[in-house]
Amino acid sequence: MTSAVATSASTSPAAAPAAATAAVPSVRHAFLDRDQSILAFNERVLDWACRKEVPLLERLRYLAIVSSNLDEFFEVRFAPHHAARMTNEQRGVATVETYHALTQRVHALVQRQYTVYNDELLPALEKRGIRIVTHGERNPRQRRWVRDYFVNEVQPLLLPVGLDPSHPFPQVANKSLNFIVRLGGRDAFGRENDIAIVKVPRALKRFVAMPAAAGSKQLHFVSISSIIRTHLADLFPGRTVLEFSQFRVTRHSDLALDEEEVKNLRTALRLGLQQRHYGQALRLEVSAGCSDYLANFLLEQFGLPPESLYRVPGPVNLVRLNQLIDQIDAPALRFERFTPGWPVELTPGQSFFERLKRGDVLIHQPYESFDAVLAFLREAVEDPSVLAIKQTIYRTGQRSEMTELLREAVRRGKEVTAVVELKARFDEEANINHAEQLESVGAQVVYGIVGLKTHAKMLLITRREGARLVRYAHISTGNYNPGTARAYTDLSYLTADEALTADIDAIFGHLASQNRLPRLNKVLMAPFLLQKGLLERIDATIAAAKAGQPARILLKMNALTDEPLVRALVHASQAGVQIEAIVRGACILPAGVPGYTDHVRIRSVIGRFLEHSRVFYFHYGEHEELWLSSADWMNRNMLRRVELAWPVTDPQLRARIMDECLHLYLADQRDAWLLQPDGTYVKAATVAGKPGRGGALPAAQATLMNRYGTKG
């Protein structure tokens, strides 16, 4: 690492003692298990698929979200547990016991998924005239149509592979749909090889709409699995199909590169992306009726133990239900349309530069429109007084309007620098493409610092105003992605504050040159200052509590798993600091454990939108601090990523953030779950009891939707 640890004027809170934490008794209890906490989060998401008041297609989508999350859990988190099971040796925190505990919980979760799918959602869809028609349910007209579709659209793309010594078991890509077939009779050469594999190309639609009968308003669909299984015999003329099953394997997919040894990171990542589809197999999904013979054959081929087998009564990939949902035009079965409002602190058509001269601006997405951020960049691109634009690119989507705007800025003669994070998990290919597009027109593209992911969200604009250069910036808790900006809650912060924009400029310079990071004015930056600065603020609350002064910490984030910070919060609770945290996903900090975390209260809010904003509030004595950040309290964010946290000092903006991101969520009784001392979660609604006179339990997201957006 070429950068040296730097200090910042903003790192030490007022009156913070140097070693307050050390004076508190050491932690004696274990933390909660992170991976179990991730599965608990998915159980909370699945609850939305079970809620009768949620529109039917949205319930189906939540079911798909859980499946997508479980895919990522196996792809990213499960490999150490699998290795421990296979070697009977501990791998970090992973053991044979953790393997069995996690596997048992995933099996139960998957069973619940398919019970909801088969017993609740499919019958409910059928009552609404929407059916996924199986072969046995099809009338003669539908069977003729399916056969024609198979012959014309499907069969030409299928290539069955019979297994023999010269045709070994083929490479099966991660999460791809396949069939295994057991055949009777002999092949063309008189041999009795009985196993064949049929790969289903990703290009084929997973759900296909069948033509409706004359005058019928019903929507009938057929799955690609059903189409193929019905006509499997057509793929093996002269043979008898004795049995078959669809199957899908999930593989370890986290790219591991030794960046110190890589000469060209972009080229190495392209090669790694090709190999990702064929990593270590970790989970095998088959049809519920798959025979033991075929299941055991597959387990042996993939080198998996029996616990890795998941028999499912339905499609092996529920994520593909999204294709079905997208084909159904039924507004009554979806959430009421929500249109974000224009940010209340901005006037449409007004120059952003003129507005920011009067003070900072907050945009609360998705309640307020992300289009304002695009408009800010567009004004900079079109303004001849703007000389330079610098931006980080982490997750902007496959097709990025921001990338196009940056390309246009280059064409207009502006200096454009893009810090592109090539290692954004599962977005690597998109970011490589963005980098190449920007380089092709002459933008300066850099890839950050070896060994660190650039996760900070920054946009810096330098403008000539008279005899001087003035900086304007956008910093955010979330990504520059218009798609996720409609579904994730995040805070965008626009500023012309000289100290803050100078910090951002210095960080861009640090990332590009890898020179020492200069002394910062306001920003806490990971991996150098952020964790240290947060620990100091926790220490300050401990000192205040011991002195009998007000001491409180309020937090909102996606995950709370960094052990030094969690340990400090435990110490703070033992000192009497009141701690309330809104943690959407994984959390290893126990709540309300007598003598340990008595003063800790933790809740998770799962709603229509994905909670994504990060807000940190510290109250110690006479001092109050409010921070926004791109970072969750995770070890990787603190030590292996470039992250930002910045203070909000404007009284009106602070009050707004406190209300909208903390107080409303702490009062939520409809969508919130409360963490119990034993690590389980219970619905806040069950604790709150019946609604009051208002008629409905308070819900933060619904309140903000009503406040800022329009429905219908």
Higher pLDDT, 659 or 398: 659
Per-residue pLDDT band for 18 (boundaries 50, 70, 90) equals very low
Question: Is residue 366 reached through a cis peptide bond, with omega within 30 degrees of 0 on the bond before it?
Answer: yes
pLDDT higher than 90, residue 423: no
Contact by Cβ (8 Å): 551, 28: no
Buried b (16+ CB within 10 A) or exposed e, 549-564: eebbbbbbbbbbbbeb
| Nearest to 32, CA basis, from 476, 461, 588, 569 | 588
Per-residue pLDDT band for 273 (boundaries 50, 70, 90) equals very low
Is 395 labelled a binding residue?
yes
Per-residue pLDDT band for 398 (boundaries 50, 70, 90) equals low
pLDDT tens digit sequence for 111-124: 999 999 999 999 99
pLDDT higher than 50, residue 28: no
**pLDDT confidence of residue 6:** 38
How confident is the model over 90-115, as a mean pLDDT?
96
Mind telling me the catalytic residues? 455
**pLDDT confidence of residue 394:** 75
Is 488 labelled a binding residue?
yes
* CA–CA gap between residue 389 and residue 410 (Å, rounded): 9
Question: How many C-beta atoms surround the C-beta of residue 622 within 10 A?
Answer: 10
Per-residue pLDDT band for 690 (boundaries 50, 70, 90) equals low
pLDDT higher than 90, residue 612: yes
**pLDDT confidence of residue 452:** 81
pLDDT tens digit sequence for 334-362: 999 999 999 999 999 999 999 999 999 99
pLDDT higher than 60, residue 270: no
**pLDDT confidence of residue 689:** 64
Q: In Å, what is the CA distance from 240 to each residue of 161, 439, 617? A: 15, 57, 68
**pLDDT confidence of residue 710:** 81
Buried b (16+ CB within 10 A) or exposed e, 54-65: bbbbbbbbbbbb
Domains of the chain: 21-30+526-711 (3.30.870.10), 34-333 (3.30.1840.10), 340-522 (3.30.870.10)
Residues ≥6 apart with Cβ < 8 Å to 652 = none
* CA–CA gap between residue 204 and residue 159 (Å, rounded): 14
**pLDDT confidence of residue 397:** 58
Question: How many C-beta atoms surround the C-beta of residue 189 within 10 A?
Answer: 7
**pLDDT confidence of residue 439:** 79
* CA–CA gap between residue 235 and residue 47 (Å, rounded): 41
How confident is the model over 462-491, as a mean pLDDT?
94
**pLDDT confidence of residue 20:** 37
Per-residue pLDDT band for 695 (boundaries 50, 70, 90) equals low
> Which range has the worst mean pLDDT, 304-318, 563-577, 681-695?
681-695
Per-residue pLDDT band for 416 (boundaries 50, 70, 90) equals very high
pLDDT higher than 50, residue 709: yes
pLDDT higher than 60, residue 293: yes
pLDDT higher than 60, residue 52: yes
Which residues, listed in sequence order, are joined to residue 453 by a DSSP beta bridge? 641
Annotate 391-412 with DSSP letters as a single string.
EEES---SS-HHHHHHHHHHHT
Is 69 labelled a binding residue?
yes
How confident is the model over 34-46, as a mean pLDDT?
97
Residue found under tokens 């939305």: 48
How confident is the model over 69-84, as a mean pLDDT?
95
Report the mean per-residue pLDDT for the chain.
89
* % of the chain at pLDDT higher than 90: 75
Buried b (16+ CB within 10 A) or exposed e, 516-534: ebeebbbbbbbbbbbbbbb
- Highest mean pLDDT (candidates 151-155, 192-196, 389-393): 151-155
pLDDT tens digit sequence for 186-209: 877 777 789 999 999 999 999 999
Q: Which helix (H) or strand (E) holds 109?
A: helix 96-115
Contact by Cβ (8 Å): 77, 99: no
Is 641 labelled a binding residue?
no
**pLDDT confidence of residue 268:** 47
pLDDT tens digit sequence for 500-557: 999 999 999 999 888 888 999 999 999 999 999 999 999 999 999 999 999 999 999 9
* CA–CA gap between residue 53 and residue 513 (Å, rounded): 54
Q: In Å, what is the CA distance from 587 to each residue of 48, 317, 388, 641? A: 20, 28, 41, 20
**pLDDT confidence of residue 30:** 82
Per-residue pLDDT band for 279 (boundaries 50, 70, 90) equals confident
How confident is the model over 366-376, as a mean pLDDT?
96
Could you give the angle at which helices 401-411 and 428-441 cross, rounded to 10 degrees?
20
Per-residue pLDDT band for 14 (boundaries 50, 70, 90) equals low
